[in-house]
């Protein structure tokens, strides 16, 4: 069963108050990423590390959207931001990252009119951010150039 195994502990990032820094690891167990052939208890486990920088749900850039969905899925958005990193563990496709985001919202029993518009938003706007930053990215860092032909964005 998909579930968050720890609580979200964050503080405002001192370099840029539009970002948040994890004060403790955030652990999420995803059924979507669990290998049914594996008996490992870590199969499907996503560990967002302490110190990871997130902007939570990126809705603040769109005023109307921010008013409706801006503060509705913080834990879920942190996991999603992490999975969008080019060096996340596990390394997932664009479609898998977005599906885990929706799955995590279902875990917290977010309603249909929260889950699906936010999921659709990451499908539309996420292409510009997928695999552009590393897990250790900090505000002020330039994101690395990603010209790797082996990185494929799959739905």
pLDDT single digits (tens) 88-138: 999 999 999 999 999 998 887 777 777 777 777 777 877 788 888 999 998
Which residues touch 9 (CB under 8 Å, ≥6 apart)?
Answer: 22, 23, 24, 26
State residue 42's pLDDT score.
Answer: 75
Binned at pLDDT 50, 70 and 90, residue 46 comes out as very high
pTM higher than the cut 0.85: no
pLDDT single digits (tens) 79-101: 999 999 999 999 999 999 999 99
User: Is the pLDDT score of 63 beyond 70?
Assistant: no
User: Is the pLDDT score of 31 beyond 70?
Assistant: yes
State residue 16's pLDDT score.
Answer: 86
Q: Which two tokens stand for residue 99?
A: 């599906």
User: Is the pLDDT score of 152 beyond 90?
Assistant: no
Alpha helices, DSSP H only, in the chain?
63-69, 74-83, 94-107, 112-125
Which residues touch 107 (CB under 8 Å, ≥6 apart)?
Answer: 2, 3, 4, 76
| Mean pLDDT, residues 9-13 taken together | 93
User: Is the pLDDT score of 141 beyond 90?
Assistant: no
State residue 155's pLDDT score.
Answer: 46
């Amino acid at each position: 069963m998909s579930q968050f195994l720890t609580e979200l502990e964050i503080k405002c990032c001192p370099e840029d108050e539009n970002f948040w820094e994890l004060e403790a690891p955030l652990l999420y167990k995803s059924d979507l990423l669990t290998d049914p052939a594996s008996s490992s208890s870590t199969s499907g486990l996503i560990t967002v590390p302490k110190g990871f920088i997130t902007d939570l749900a990126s809705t603040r850039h769109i005023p109307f959207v921010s008013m409706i969905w801006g503060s509705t899925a913080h834990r879920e958005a942190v996991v999603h931001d992490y999975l969008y990193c080019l060096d996340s563990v596990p390394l997932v496709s664009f479609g898998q990252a977005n599906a885990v985001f929706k799955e995590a919202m279902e875990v917290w029993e977010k309603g249909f009119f929260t889950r699906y518009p936010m999921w659709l938003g990451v499908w539309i706007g996420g292409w510009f951010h997928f695999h552009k930053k590393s897990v250790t990215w900090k505000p002020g860092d330039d994101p690395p150039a990603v010209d790797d032909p082996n990185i494929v964005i799959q739905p």
